Amino acid sequence: MEKKFDLCLKNLLTISGVERGELARHLGVAVPTVNRWLNGISTPNVYQFREIAHFFGMPYDWFLEDEGSIPDVDNLAAKLGLSPETVGTLLEMVSEGGNEATLEAVDNALCAALAVIDGVFEDLDRYADKVIAGMEESGE
């Protein structure tokens, strides 16, 4: 049985915490276009498909594999900054159609994790700026 693109995209949006509008902006399409993909009314063209796979760090074939398959958990975990076990559990919960409270809890956890990751990168940027400024002052 084939995996449907709309289900794959819904799962990726839920797990990653990416909003429909953010994906639409990245792809240069309107939000209603993304909504049509999510509702199974239409599918992206080959260029959009390629960009979606790249955006989420997923191989093309994941969108086309059997319904029971899951994405490359290690790649997705690295991209999200979570453990592979956590990502695997989240994928299972989403694919089982977890209840609204469960999905909201998953979304909140992902948002919190992404906020921590953003904070770490901001700290690294500030540190790098200080190092560069110090090198410039010392003439290196």
Each residue's pLDDT expressed in tens, for the chain with a length of 140 residues: 344 778 888 888 888 888 999 999 999 999 999 999 998 888 888 889 888 988 888 777 667 655 444 556 777 777 667 788 887 777 776 666 556 666 666 666 666 666 667 677 777 888 888 888 888 887 76
Dist CA 70 CA 116 (whole Å):
26
The token pair that represents 98 in the structure block: 């977890």
- Sign of the C-alpha dihedral, residues 109, 10, 119, 30? negative
Q: State the pLDDT at residue 68.
A: 46
| Domain range enclosing 109 | 5-138
The total domain count for the chain is 1
pLDDT for residue 102: 64
Task: Kindly state the tokens that stand for 16.
Answer: 């990653």
